[in-house]
Amino acid sequence: MDKLSVEEAIQFAIEQEIQAAELYALLLDKSTDPKAQEIYTELRDMEIVHKENLESFDTSEFNKRHAEQPLLNLKLTDYLVEKTATENLSFQDTLILAAQREQKTYALYAELAEKFKYDEILYKLFSLLAREELLHKDQIETLYDDTVLSQN
């Protein structure tokens, strides 16, 4: 992936969102925990909205939407044992899996931004996508902190 058009980059990102939505839909189907089902539904729907946003991508709108949101990167799930999509994950494991997936996608986009730093548009696109994934991770980890860690 040494050369990439903006259209190809957007299509790549759309495919990432589709894969994420499919993962959360699969986990939703397998889950019997009502809290986990709620999270899977929210995550699946969030990924669908991201896909739709990418399909009508507008750099100026995308930039405005994310520029003011502070990122905390709590790193609460960075050093936990990696979770896999198995039957009946607990609510806690659901949040860990989701945060770890967002971290991996963030790392992918950050790496692509660095790789394409010579192309201002691709650099900006991948940087914005990375920021969005980190924002999702922050949201999930904040929920993890508020619900799981506060109970311990």
Fold of the CATH domain 6-56+75-151: Ferritin (1.20.1260)
Report pLDDT digits (tens) over 65-107: 545 555 556 566 665 556 666 666 788 888 888 888 888 899 9
**Whether pLDDT at 35 is above 90:** no
**Of residues 49, 51, 71, 59, the one with CA closest to residue 122:** 59
Distance CA 84, CA 93 (A): 9
Torsion of CA 145, 147, 148, 152, to 10 degrees: 100
Check residue 11 and give its pLDDT. Answer: 92
Q: Are 81 and 94 contacting, i.e. CB atoms less than 8 angstroms apart?
A: no
**pLDDT (mean) for 121-135:** 88
**Of residues 2, 111, 89, 105, the one with CA closest to residue 50:** 105
Give the tokens for residue 9. 């980059």
Residue bearing the bigger pLDDT, 86 or 22: 22
Q: What is the DSSP string of 120-147?
A: HHHHHHHHHHHHHHHHHHHHHHHHHHHH
Distance CA 52, CA 70 (A): 24
**Whether pLDDT at 64 is above 70:** no
Check residue 78 and give its pLDDT. Answer: 65
**Whether pLDDT at 63 is above 60:** no
Local confidence band at 51 (pLDDT 50, 70, 90 cut-offs): very high
Domain coordinates of the chain in residue numbers?
Answer: 6-56+75-151
Rounded percentage of the chain residues whose pLDDT exceeds 70: 78
Q: Whole-structure pTM over 0.85, yes or no?
A: no
Check residue 59 and give its pLDDT. Answer: 59
